[in-house]
């Protein structure tokens, strides 16, 4: 059905683009009208089967990709057609027909590329820029266009399948746990007011039955200070809801804060499990190196500006330097000697590894090689050796 639809639409575009060069069509008004209407409809709704995609963004993206496929095939056919006509000599009607075909094919192309550029997430800035820069280089632009189509096809197919699976399993409440989830953010970010730290993760968890709360600790402070805030937050949730315990999912420095809250501030009795994600349990050697190399005046200037900005966003007492210092190898080693995992709490860790620097987005793609030099395989900030903690631990690759 998909191939048939693409084939029919391609022939409609090809014939419409070459009306002036096909007398058998041009001389019959009703054929011209039919092709014109067909051309307009193809540009509005190029693929009926993509109407089944679960979101408007994916439908627009899929339609854009379909238009680019139609453009490639119909342009190839038009090129072969005009090469064949050249054997009969160049005439004014030949030139008019060529110009008309270029205009019509351009409409299809720009309709498709604009839809894809606006809606695709996987193209990111990289392939958008490559498309713009290479769009004027003959032959090369065809390879780039094919690559863009390939990326978008995979994106729409994967995300559509994922959404449909999620919709079908919502009634099963697969994310409903005995105790609610407490999401604890990492350093330099917040999960309340103004900034959306967790993206679409909370809504997806809630659709599948999870009950969610947030850590609400400051964006940047020492592990001890944040640990105290986390402990108070857990106590508040338990006493207000009667849930008895929580399951913690903590990202980055948030994992250090939670371990400290459990070990030093008595949160052990309220915590069933701790899952840390890319948490530098053993610190970051590159962070220690940077702190030793950056002049003290520069460090103080950056810290002052950050602290002032985050106070305006709601942090009570942000401390940029305290947060950064607590992420170093020496600080983590010293802290790990004093905090002990609670025997009644289940600890596990999850992490990721970039296959190459370009697999990550800024600033992770920028810092990847620096971190690799000091700490080994990493996600752009935290190494595999540092994030592993608890009874179970695993990591996944990030690559494109």
Quickly state the pLDDT bin for 227 (edges 50, 70, 90).
very high
- For 20-40, what is each residue's pLDDT tens digit? 877 777 778 888 889 889 999
Is the pLDDT score of 398 beyond 60? no
- For 347-357, what is each residue's pLDDT tens digit? 999 988 887 76
Determine if residue 278 is left, alpha or beta; phi over 0 gives left, psi from -120 to 50 gives alpha, anything else beta: left
Quickly state the pLDDT bin for 187 (edges 50, 70, 90).
confident
What integer pLDDT is reported at residue 364 of this predicted model? 67
Which residue reads 């105290």 in tokens? Answer: 228
Q: In terms of DSSP bridges, do strands 246-251 and 346-354 run parallel, antiparallel, or are they unpaired?
A: unpaired
- For 314-356, what is each residue's pLDDT tens digit? 788 888 888 889 999 999 999 999 999 999 999 999 988 887 7
Nearest to 276 by CA among 394, 398, 375: 394
Alpha helices in the chain (DSSP H): 2-17, 23-26, 29-44, 56-86, 92-119, 124-134, 140-169, 201-207, 223-241, 253-264, 285-293, 296-312, 320-325, 329-336, 364-375, 384-387
Is the pLDDT score of 399 beyond 60? no
| Residue 64, phi then psi, degrees to nearest 5 | -65, -40
What integer pLDDT is reported at residue 400 of this predicted model? 44
Sequence-separated (6 or more) residues with CB below 8 Å from residue 225: 218, 317, 319, 322
> By percentage, how much of the chain surpasses pLDDT 90?
46
What integer pLDDT is reported at residue 313 of this predicted model? 76
| 103-107, 280-284, 299-303, 318-322: range with lowest mean pLDDT | 299-303
Which residue reads 């289940």 in tokens? Answer: 346
Homologous superfamily of domain range 173-398: Alpha/Beta hydrolase fold, catalytic domain (3.40.50.1820)
Is the pLDDT score of 110 beyond 90? yes
What integer pLDDT is reported at residue 270 of this predicted model? 97
Name the residue ranges covered by the structural domains of the chain: 2-168, 173-398
What integer pLDDT is reported at residue 332 of this predicted model? 92
What integer pLDDT is reported at residue 89 of this predicted model? 61
- For 69-97, what is each residue's pLDDT tens digit? 999 999 999 988 888 777 666 566 777 88
Tell me the pTM: 0.72
What integer pLDDT is reported at residue 198 of this predicted model? 87
């Amino acid at each position: 059905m998909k191939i048939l639809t693409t084939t029919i639409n391609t022939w409609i575009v090809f014939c419409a683009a070459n009306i002036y060069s096909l007398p058998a069509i041009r001389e019959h008004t009703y054929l011209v009208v039919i092709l014109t209407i067909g051309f307009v409809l193809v540009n509005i709704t190029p693929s009926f089967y993509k109407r089944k995609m679960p979101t408007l963004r994916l439908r627009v993206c899929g339609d854009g990709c379909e238009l680019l496929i139609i453009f490639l095939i119909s342009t190839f056919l038009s090129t072969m057609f005009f090469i064949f006509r050249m054997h009969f000599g160049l005439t004014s009607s030949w030139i008019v027909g060529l110009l008309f075909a270029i205009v019509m094919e351009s409409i299809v192309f720009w309709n498709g590329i604009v839809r894809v550029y606006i809606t695709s997430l996987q193209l990111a800035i990289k392939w958008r820029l490559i498309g713009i820069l290479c769009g004027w280089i003959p032959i090369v632009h065809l390879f780039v266009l094919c690559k863009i189509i390939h990326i978008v096809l995979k994106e729409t197919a994967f995300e559509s399948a994922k959404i449909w699976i999620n919709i079908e399993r919502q009634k099963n409440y697969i994310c409903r746990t005995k105790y609610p989830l407490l999401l604890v953010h990492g350093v330099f970010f917040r999960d309340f007011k103004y900034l959306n730290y967790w993206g679409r993760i909370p809504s997806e968890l809630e659709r599948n039955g999870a009950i969610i709360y947030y850590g609400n600790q400051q964006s940047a402070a020492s592990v001890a200070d944040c640990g105290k805030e986390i402990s108070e937050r857990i106590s508040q949730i338990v006493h207000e809801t009667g849930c008895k315990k929580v399951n913690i999912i903590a990202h980055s420095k948030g994992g250090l804060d939670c371990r400290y809250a459990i070990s030093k501030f008595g949160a052990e009795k309220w915590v069933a499990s701790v899952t840390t994600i890319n948490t530098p349990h053993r610190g970051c050697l590159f962070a220690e190196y940077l702190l030793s190399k950056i002049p003290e005046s520069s460090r103080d200037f950056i810290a002052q500006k950050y602290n002032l900005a985050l106070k305006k966003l709601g942090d009570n007492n942000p401390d940029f330097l305290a947060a950064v210092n607590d992420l170093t190898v020496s600080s983590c080693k010293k802290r790990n000697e004093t905090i002990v995992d609670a025997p009644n709490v289940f600890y596990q860790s999850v992490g990721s590894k970039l296959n190459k620097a370009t697999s990550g987005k800024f600033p992770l793609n920028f810092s990847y090689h620096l971190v690799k030099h000091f700490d080994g395989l990493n996600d752009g900030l935290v190494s595999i050796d540092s994030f592993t903690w608890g009874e179970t631990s695993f990591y996944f690759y990030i690559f494109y």
